[in-house]
Amino acid sequence: MKILVVEDNLQSRYMLEQFLTARGHAVWSAAEGRAALALCRERGQPDVVVSDALMPTMDGFELCYALRQDTKWCNVPFILYTATYTAESDERFAMSVGVDRFVVKPIEPDELLGIIEAVVEQVRTAPPRAPQQLDPRPAFLEEYARVVSVKLEDKLAELARANATLTTSAQTMRELNERLAATVQRLEGEIAERRRAEQLLHLAHQVGGLGSWETVPGVGDVVWSASALKLFGLTESAPTLADVLAGVEEPSRVAVSNYLGTAPAGGERPATLEFGYAEPKTGRRRRFQLRGQEVAVVPQGPLVRLGTVQDITERHETETRRQTLEQQLFRAQKMEALGALAGGIAHDFNNILTTIFGHAEILREEMAGANAAPAWRDSIAEILNAAVRSRDTVQQILTFSRRQSVERRAQPLARVVEEGLRLVRATLNRRVLLQVQLDSDRHVMANETQIHQVLLNLCTNAAHAMSTTGGTLSVAVDSVDLPASADSRSGPHVRLRVIDTGTGMEPQVLERIFEPFFTTKPAGEGTGLGLAVVHGIVQAHDATIQAESKVGQGTTFTVLFPAVAATPLPASEILPTGLPLGRGRHVLVVDDEPSVARLCVRFLERLGYRTTMLTEPGEARAVFLRDPRSFDAAVVDYLMPRLNGVDLIRTMRSVRPGFPAVLVAGFGGQLDAAKARSEGVREFVAKPFSIVALAEALDRVLD
């Protein structure tokens, strides 16, 4: 709509313009009646007029009367929007001059817009109005004069109140100005005091840890203060610049010499310069910072370079530690992201493996009683073995990314090392020859992923030691029997050795190799955490690690693992013999992965259950709530969109307490048996599961 707003109050007019424009209407605005009439003559007829009552030059009553007398504008809807309301006679008089609606401020904008739309619709559907003639009767004029007079009195009263407010505000401003002046005076005193304190602090720094120096560029040597000589560890009364430069680290000597002013004039110098320094007598390494400036001590004289030297060793070490911690945090965040990705991959893979396991079991069961060819049974066995290996691989990924607890089991160390060497071979360059000797069939309690991590760290360090000259990397596993000794380590062990023919290590370096963050590699090439991690893993395996090294001959790492008795692998976990039968009981199967849901249904129906399969948890909830007694139990997936399995089971039990349910989860990082029990779920099956595990869990909850 085209809405003409007539309002002499700038703020009120602006608010109406903004509100109506935001609602998609075209708004014209004027400060009084005559300007509004001019707009109508210029732009044409508006759809509605919203006008204040009391305005200068021409008020709202006159504006409405003028519009009603014109044949072009007599049908324009007119709303009088006023803040001064004296009696019902005001509204009656407004209606007598042609106003369609009399609205008293304040009113909510949305309510005002509703009134505008209603008035426009009312006028549109009403019969057309004829132009009005001016009522010359004295009574009409007296009523108009009375209304205007009353509103003027209200306006004057409002102005009086505003004037009183301004008077009070002026007094308040004077008080604020006085307080501001006092505050400024106090701040000036504090600033002067602070400047004095800064001067004293600067002096204290000079006395406590800063040194100074002075030189005439290109003319003489550097003159050092006593405190500067103390920082450098020099006791000579007049050391030369060469004496100081002798302790400066080689990469920085030229820069320090130039900074102190002995270089040819004309080159720009940085504001500060940092350098490493080794004290001549003790060899202690320090970090210093130079500051300098050229000043003219004597007018028209040569420029003298003055400056300070400050020991920033502690600050530099703190900054280095901070950067190291930031790098560790970044790596931790990457590992967390990797863990989240691994969890998602594990969930999908376990769903796929569940389908492979299940259908292979079904085929194996059907062929057990049939006259099937041995090759078919062998193929099914290979499928099941591959599925088991795939499941173990998924668990290794979860363990490495810390999305699943670390588990150790008895297994041949030689086999674990052989598998880990596949990754090692891919990381070695052509100049390194790998030799492998695996001569032990003893078992150890180990976690494959962690042993692989130990092997990869040791081999990577060995390859780095031979990166320049090349050499041989030997990895050996053998059996050793340790005699009884004071350290109580005796009996059968399995020994892992990683031997290189690289550069070797000095004794003082060898003593610290297992310390966290200790590294001899250049910045950016190592964090000093690799061997610390290796040491932690070895200790967690109740093993020991030793290192032997000679400079120029190479290094040998020896890890001793206690041997354990071999644990026979369980007979097939997938043999479906002697399984409990369903006897026609009705089971609700809910899984958002259709292939897994169909497999569960096929399992259960083969065992004599009746099933209802749903892949949408919200639909499953609705179906159950319609007839809770129609189901004897439920098999529910944990991770589903919009409604997880625990919440779905909780809803079922809210209407049928103790309802039997089995919860299924894609991987341990989602939910394990302990967490499931804490949520009130007694039976929990992890994917990929076998028909045996599902049947027995369902039978237990139904028992």
370-380 pLDDT, tens digit per residue, is 666 777 767 77
334 half-sphere exposure, CB direction, 13 A CA radius: 6
Q: What Rg value do the Cα atoms of the chain yield, rounded?
A: 46
Contact 495, 560 (CB under 8 A): yes
> Of the spans 58-67, 265-274, 349-358, 519-528, which averages the highest pLDDT?
58-67
Q: What is the pLDDT of residue 622?
A: 95
Residue 639 tokens, joined: 């991770």
Residue 571 has pLDDT above 50, yes or no: no
Q: What percent of the chain has pLDDT over 90?
A: 27
Average pLDDT estimate for 271-298: 84
Residue 215 neighbours by CB distance under 10 Å: 21
> Of the spans 380-394, 409-423, 682-696, which averages the highest pLDDT?
409-423
Average pLDDT estimate for 680-695: 82
pLDDT tens-digit series, residues 184-203? 888 888 888 888 776 665 56
Plot region of 470 (φ>0 → left; ψ -120 to 50 → alpha; else → beta): left
Task: Select the more confidently predicted residue: 359 or 633.
Answer: 633
Q: What is the pLDDT of residue 183?
A: 87
Average pLDDT estimate for 70-88: 82
- Residue (of 629, 621, 619) closest to 656 by Cα position: 629
pLDDT tens-digit series, residues 122-163? 999 999 888 877 565 455 555 555 666 666 566 666 666 767
Average pLDDT, the chain: 81
Separation of alpha carbons 669 and 350, rounded Å: 12
Residue 353 has pLDDT above 80, yes or no: no
Which domains does the chain possess?
2-134 (3.40.50.2300), 209-311 (3.30.450.20), 322-400 (1.10.287), 409-562 (3.30.565.10), 586-702 (3.40.50.2300)
Question: In one letter, which amino acid is 427?
Answer: T
